[in-house]
Copies of this chain bind each other. A is one copy, B any other.
Amino acid sequence: MTDTPLAAVIRGGFVESRHLGAYAIVGPGDAVIRSQGDIERPVFPRSAIKALQCLAVIESGAAERFGFTDAEVALACASHGGEPEHVETARAMLAKSGLDAEALECGAHWPSDPAAARELARRGEMPCPLHNNCSGKHAGMLALALALGVSHHGYVGPGHAVQQRIAAILGALTGSDLAAAPRAVDGCSVPTWALPLHGLARAFHRFASGEGVPPARAAAAQRIIAAVRAHPFMVAGSKRFCTDLMRAVPRAFVKTGAEGVFCAAVPHAGLGVALKCSDGASRAAETAIAGLLAGLDVWSDAERQHLLGFARVTIRNWRNVETGEIKSLV
């Protein structure tokens, strides 16, 4: 099956660029209730499955043992902007585990939040691994290593108990054989496995509904959903799509991944969604996931209006003149 149009970029009323891709929505009974494009082709989910990786942190008892708050659990599911609140929360998670930033194996990069990056520069400082957008996830993985009773050194390696535990969860939720899936190294050095979109959507259906999931895992999922709902800022940050959408529509669960991936869930309806923009563009994945969610018959009118607002974004130039828009085609 070929790719389907996901989003168009309009300038002066004329289509300037266009984005293709595929998506799947899975509901009760693991049924694919809507899809377009090739949903069998394996896709690296990247950061879109951080909530599933976090299940291992909760299930293992690590979150309870180290007393992680809901804000900290939300940060463990985050691709955050490196804003001060994110950095301090990651530091606190490490301190609770008796560790510090030295233990992080994610590498350092400048905060993706422009104001945070400029403030760091203004103070003459350089970024450290705490500023890495994945530092919360890594703090969770370090706590997991301690809870498993293994050395945390090399926790990012595919053979380490931390990643093996996560792989087992991903395999069970997606219904995929991870040993046979293409495997690569993610931007933060942990493994990422390429999985079909229908499997990723199935995983988020099960995550959100608890259907076919052991009780401890279902409870862990509910804790994560509640934590993210209570702290949407922790999952991304200022002027970020995931934070803004979940603030506006708390009953939606959405998470971006690099290279145009989006996963989502609608817990109150037991639905899971996975989407990939084939060219890797975030702008298309964002507008399309909003358009796709808006099209589901599970929202109040107010929620749907909010979602439609995220499905159509005005483009302004450097003098704040409206020059066009990006709009979902799904």
Give the distance in Å from the alpha carbon of A119 to the alpha carbon of B120 in the complex.
Answer: 11
User: Contacts of A284 on B, CB cut-off 8 Å?
Assistant: 279
Q: A42 contacts which chain B residues (CB < 8 A)?
A: 14
CB pair A319–B17 under 8 Å, yes or no, is: no
Instruction: Give the residue among A16, A185, A317, A324 with the most B Cβ atoms within 10 A.
Output: A16
Of the residues B16, B119, B186, B321, contact of A280 by C-beta under 8 Å: B16
Say whether, besides A278-B17, A280-B17, A319 and B11 are in contact (CB < 8 Å).
no
Instruction: Kindly identify, within residues 49 to 80 of chain A, every residue whose CB is under 8 Å from any CB belonging to chain B.
Output: none
Nearest CB of chain B from residue A200's CB, rounded to whole Å: 14
Chain A interface SS verdict (over half): loop
- Contacts A184-B324, A323-B186 given; does A9 touch B280 at CB 8 Å: yes
Q: How many residues of A contact B (CB 8 A)?
A: 50
Q: Which of B117, B132, B182, B319 contacts A13 (CB 8 A)?
A: B182
Interface residues, chain A, CB within 8 Å of chain B?
Answer: 9, 11-14, 16-20, 42, 44, 105-110, 114, 117-119, 121-122, 124, 132, 182-189, 192, 194, 259-260, 278-281, 284, 317-321, 323-324
Instruction: List 30 A–B pairs whose Cβ atoms lie within 8 Å, in order of A's numbering.
Output: A9-B259, A11-B184, A11-B185, A11-B192, A12-B184, A12-B185, A14-B184, A16-B184, A16-B259, A16-B280, A17-B259, A17-B278, A17-B280, A20-B20, A20-B279, A105-B319, A106-B319, A107-B317, A108-B318, A118-B118, A119-B121, A121-B121, A132-B318, A184-B323, A185-B321, A186-B323, A187-B317, A188-B318, A189-B317, A279-B284
